Amino acid sequence: MLVVGVCGLSYEYSFSRLATGILGDSTKQWALVIGVMMFFMGLGADLQKHLGNDQMVERFIGIEILLGLLGGFGPSLSLYAFGYWNELFVVVHYLLIAGVGLLIGLEIPLLVRVNELCLPSLKDNLGLILKMDYAGSFIGALAWVFVLPRFLDLLEIPYLLGLLNVFVALGTLFFFRTFVARTWVLGLTGVLAAGALGLGLWLGEPIRLFLEQRLYKDPVVLSQTSRYQHILFTQNAAGRLDCFINGHLQFSSRDEQIYHEFLVHPALSALQSPKRVLVLGGGDGLAVRELLRYPGLESVTLVDLDPVMTGLAQEYPPLVALNQGSLKAPKVRLVEPQGVIEGERVLLEERGNGFFKRLKAPEPVEVSLFHLDAFNFARSAPGTYDLILLDFPDPNDPELSKLYSLEFYRSLKGLLNPQGLMVQQSTSPSVAHEAFLIIGRTLQEAGFSTLALHQVIPSFGDWGFWVAGAAEDYPGQVLGQQVSRPRELPPGLVYLTSELIGAAQVFGKGQLDMEGIPVNRLLAERLFEAYHQAWARQQ
C-alpha cells in the first residue's frame, strides 16, 4: 500500500508538471489536474461497489497492471498528442488523467476488501490501508521533488512509477496465488507490462527527443531538465541557435544582440563612471557579454536561480561562442554566500584576459555568480549598485510575476546608488499592451521615475523595456533627457546606435496612458492575468 500511495501522488505531479510546461500557468494546471484526478478517484471508489466479492484479487492485480501502463505511458502519449494532434491535446491529456484517477479510485477500496482476507477487523484494516496510503503519498511527494528529477527527466519518471505499480501487481499475485484461478495469465501479462515499461524507461531520452523534435522547426541539439525548468536548444543548418525555456523562446542568435544591446547600453552609457552592476536573471551570459565592453566597471554580480543554465553558459560550446566566454574565467574560486540566504556557494570569477583582455581593460573585473532566487537576494543583498538589469523571462507564470511586483521593486530601490538606474525587460507593448503598462505603473508606485523604450526584434516583434531611476534623483523629464543625450557607445555593437536610443522612446498617441492601470502586487497578480489574456488572444 505504501508503494501504491507513492505512485498515485507522483502521477498527479507528473501530469501537472507536463501541463504546466505545455500550457503555462502552473497554479491553474496543477489545480485542474489534481482536481480532475480527485473527482475520478471518487467516481472509481463508488464504482467498486458494483464489483462482486469473487475474483477480487484478480481484479486488483489487473487494475494495478493497467494503472502502471496508463500512468507510465500517459505523459508520453500527452506529449505525442500535443505534437501531432495539437487541437486534441487537452482532450487526450485530461482523458488520460481521468483514466488514472479512476483506476486509483478503484484500487484503494479493492485493496481494503482484499486485505480482509488477512485482517478481517474493519477498523484495523482501514487504519492500516489509509495510514500506508497517506505515508506513501508523503514519500512520493518528497521523492518527486527532491530525488527523482536528479536522475530522470519528466517522461522517464512515470515509466519508473508504472514499473512500481506492476511490481505491486506481481507481488500481490505471488502472495495471494492460492486465491487466483488464472495465475499464469496474470503473471505473463504483468511480465509483458513490466517489459514494456522497462523499455520505455531505458529509451526515455530517445523517446523524449523524438517527441520534442515534433514541436520545433529546427533540429534539437540539446535538451536538459533542471530542478527549475526545461532548457532546450535548436540549431539550423545555417548555425542559428535558438534557446527555449519551458517551451518559450528565450533568444535567437540571429537577433539576440538587438535585445541585449537595448537592455544594457541605453542606461549604462547614460551613467557617469559606473562601477558596480547587478544582473538578475540572464544566466545565459549574454547581458554580461555586453557589460564587459565597459573597461571602467569594477564588478558585475549575476544572480540566476538555475545552476544548469549558468553551467551551459560556461561549458556548452555554441552558447559559450555566443556569449563570448563572458562566464568563463581563467581563475575560479569558491567563497561563502556572505549572509545572503538560501543560496548555493558563490562562484567568484576574476577576469583579466579572454574577451575582456581583447577590450584592453586596464583592470580585471570581478564577476560574482549567485545561484539564488532573485526575490530573496534583493531582500538581503550586500552592497549597492550603479545599474540593475532585470533579465527575467516574461511573467507567464505566477511564480515569475512576483519578480515584477511592487514589493520586489521596493527592495531593489534600496540597492541602487544615488543616480543609479534599473532596466526591466517588459514583454511586447503591442501584443501585451496592458501588461507592459502594469510594469511601468508598478515601478512608479515603488518610487521610480520611468522611461519606456521599445524596439522591433524579428524573433519576437515589437519589444519593450522600462528604464527606471529613483524619483528623487530623476524628477520630471530628467531621466528621459539623460538617457537621450548624445553619447559615445562602446565599440563592437552590432545594432544599437545613439540615434536609435532616441527613436526607441517614441510611442503612438495615448500608448503610455496609465489611467486605470493597476499595480502588480504579490497577492494581487494583475500582471500575470493581463499577460496571459493578451497572449491567449494572440494565439
Interval 142-172: pLDDT, tens = 988 888 888 888 889 999 999 999 999 999 8
- CB-based contact 255:457 (threshold 8 Å): yes
Same structural domain, 21 and 126: yes
The type of residue at 531 is Y
Is 255 labelled a binding residue? no
What mean pLDDT comes out for the span 218-222? 93
Is 397 labelled a binding residue? no
E-only strand ranges, 71-170:
none
How many independent structural domains does the chain possess? 3
Evaluate if residue 22 carries a pLDDT over 80: no
Same structural domain, 177 and 283: no
Same structural domain, 207 and 227: no
432 to 397, 462, 517, 528: CA distances (angstroms): 15, 10, 13, 11
Is 304 labelled a binding residue? yes
User: Which residues constitute the domain of residue 517?
Assistant: 255-538
Distance separating alpha carbons of residues 177 and 190, to the nearest angstrom: 14
Same structural domain, 135 and 227: no
User: Which residues, in sequence order, are bridge partners of residue 350?
Assistant: 331, 366
Same structural domain, 190 and 264: no
Question: Hey, CA dihedral for 372, 339, 146, 205, is it positive or negative?
Answer: positive
Is 398 labelled a binding residue? yes
Same structural domain, 382 and 494: yes
Quick one: cell of 396?
507567464
- The pLDDT, as a whole number, for residue 1 is 62
Contact partners, residue 221, CB within 8 Å, separation at least 6: 233, 234, 235, 318
Check which CATH number belongs to the domain holding 413 and give it: 3.40.50.150
Same structural domain, 278 and 164: no
| Last residue in a domain, options 249, 269, 303 | 249
| Last residue in a domain, options 185, 213, 241 | 213
Tens of pLDDT, residue by residue over 61-111, are 999 999 999 999 999 999 899 888 878 888 999 999 999 999 999 988 887
Same structural domain, 145 and 282: no
Same structural domain, 381 and 415: yes
Lowest mean pLDDT among 201-205, 266-270, 402-406, 461-465: 201-205
Tens of pLDDT, residue by residue over 281-303, are 999 999 999 999 998 898 888 88
Query: Of 455 and 349, which is predicted with more confidence?
Result: 455
Active site residue 391: yes
Same structural domain, 311 and 359: yes
Contact partners, residue 313, CB within 8 Å, separation at least 6: 283, 284, 285, 319, 320, 323, 326, 327
The continuous run of DSSP H or E covering 469 comes out as: strand 461-470
- The pLDDT, as a whole number, for residue 334 is 31
pTM, full prediction? 0.82
Highest average pLDDT, of 226-230, 285-289, 368-372, comes from: 285-289
What mean pLDDT comes out for the span 473-498? 90
3 to 9, 166, 195: CA distances (angstroms): 10, 11, 19
**Measuring CA to CA, which residue among 358, 525, 496, 394 is closest to residue 24?**
394
Same structural domain, 481 and 462: yes
Backbone dihedral angles phi then psi of residue 310, each to the nearest 5 degrees? -70, -30
Candidate list 133, 242, 386, 391, residue with the active-site label: 391
Same structural domain, 203 and 225: no
Is 124 labelled a binding residue? no
Is 513 labelled a binding residue? no
The percentage of residues in the chain with a pLDDT greater than 90, rounded to a whole number, is: 55
Is 133 labelled a binding residue? no
